[in-house]
A and B are shown apart, each in its own frame.
Chain A
């Protein structure tokens, strides 16, 4: 009985939360369609979230690709399938590791920054000041950030995947001594444009998740430094969890449009 009630209230608050996100998304879509887009702010955000996230994404992609190639090699070598390592690394990076890891890293770096910034504006009455000057906070704060994320995330994912594949190749060819021609040949044979399309689509969706969770947390942040801290933590935790959960369903759905394998 207690368990049922617990599940019930959890489900209710989950739906409530998703409702908040939907509401914010609709308001943003309306803003994008009916008010002039603030490109200067959007560009600033692209610089902030896209350009400045690159180091994090490069390190993540590079070392993930490298370690994944090494592990795959250790297993495949026993079966004398050395040259298949590249194909496995590439497909995994494109379809899962690249988008998910980039998403998680950006949720941490950018989601936290956005929710803290907007939350601070909320508790210092800067949001009220915006409104009192006739400016809708969604137009001024959320819409430019949403544009920036929708542009930046696919590019960051592509960068992560590219670096990961290169790093994997370096480990397999230079350190493990796999024949490069075969390695590259197999990799190209088993990857296709649809893998890239899947990576970019996932990046785009994760970008939307991160930006709306972070902005929603900031806009609803409670008074004081404690409120902002809480909003920041929740933006990162909820953003990351949503990415992992949505990733599963996205994989299932996207497999219909961009089927894996050959």
Chain B
């Protein structure tokens, strides 16, 4: 479904990704964990061609996308949705318009169908009644849920989530975890979830990749991660900085 081979990215002097190989099968959920600044967001952006790698290949459903022009990438991106770390809601549009946007762009013109689908999506993310609000007037958790609704409304085959639960209260986090899981179970959506929330990882992961300084340090099932006696991984799981008072 999605794979990368030998992906490296250098911006200026900084080597952000140093040779990444990953493969995600259809219907599978891969969780990418790692410290802040380890290159998780940059990796996700390469997967749909928002950034161009210094070297390496990226495949979407078997098609190599590195080197394609922006206009050739546009149709491919409709099969892969991305939920951004900062939500990236269009701040000139209401909640309703944000969620309807991908539908309209997919060619849906019937206002009744658009209205119904948006209402349904809002119900799923528990935001019914907030249609006419502007993004600036939403709380962090509401923004995340609007962003989620906007991504999944066109039923992409694959969804990339960049820290979907970061900064949310435990209850909202839990409901987002359930949503991710439900999309995968019910619609067979392939998912890549970037997170450093271990609860989220435990709940949704089929496979886990631990990204460390721009390279995959560990790849395997979540249980294997927990069982690992590697100090680096142990520190991450336990949340230890190694500092003492």
Contacts and interface: CB of A to CB of B under 8 A. Distances in A.
B75 A129 contact: no
Listed from nearest, the 8 A-B pairs whose CB atoms lie closest are A129-B88, A125-B88, A132-B82, A134-B78, A134-B74, A134-B77, A125-B84, A133-B102
B143 to A, nearest CB: 11
B88 A134 contact: no
Interface in B55-87: 70-71, 73-75, 77-78, 80-82, 84-86
Nearest to A44: B92
B161 to A, nearest CB: 12
Interface residues of B, number: 23
A126 B91 contact: yes
Interface of B: 45, 48, 50, 70-71, 73-75, 77-78, 80-82, 84-86, 88-91, 101-102, 105
Nearest to B102: A133
A128 B151 CA distance: 13
B154 to A, nearest CB: 8
Contacts of B89: 126, 129
B71 A132 contact: no
A132 B77 contact: yes
Interface residues of A, number: 13
A7 interface: no
5 contacts: A120-B91, A128-B45, A128-B50, A134-B75, A136-B74
A135 B70 contact: no
Contacts of A135: 74, 105
A131 interface: yes
A126 B90 contact: yes
A239 to B, nearest CB: 23
Nearest to B50: A128
Contacts, number: 50
A124 interface: yes
A178 B71 CA distance: 63
Contacts of A134: 74-75, 77-78, 105
Interface of A: 120-121, 124-126, 128-129, 131-136
A125 B89 CA distance: 9
A167 to B, nearest CB: 37
A135 B71 CA distance: 9
B71 A136 contact: yes
A23 to B, nearest CB: 12
B77 A131 contact: yes
B90 A129 contact: yes
Contacts of B90: 121, 126, 129
A121 B93 CA distance: 12
A124 B90 CA distance: 9
B105 A124 contact: no
Contacts of A136: 70-71, 74
Given A132-B77, A133-B102, A134-B105, A126 B88 contact: yes
Nearest to B90: A126
A101 to B, nearest CB: 30
Contacts of B88: 124-126, 128-129
A125 B83 CA distance: 11
Contacts of A126: 88-91
A124 B86 contact: yes
Contacts of B74: 131, 134-136
B192 to A, nearest CB: 13
Contacts of A128: 45, 50, 84, 88
Contacts of B50: 128, 131-132
B44 to A, nearest CB: 10
A132 B81 contact: yes
B90 to A, nearest CB: 6
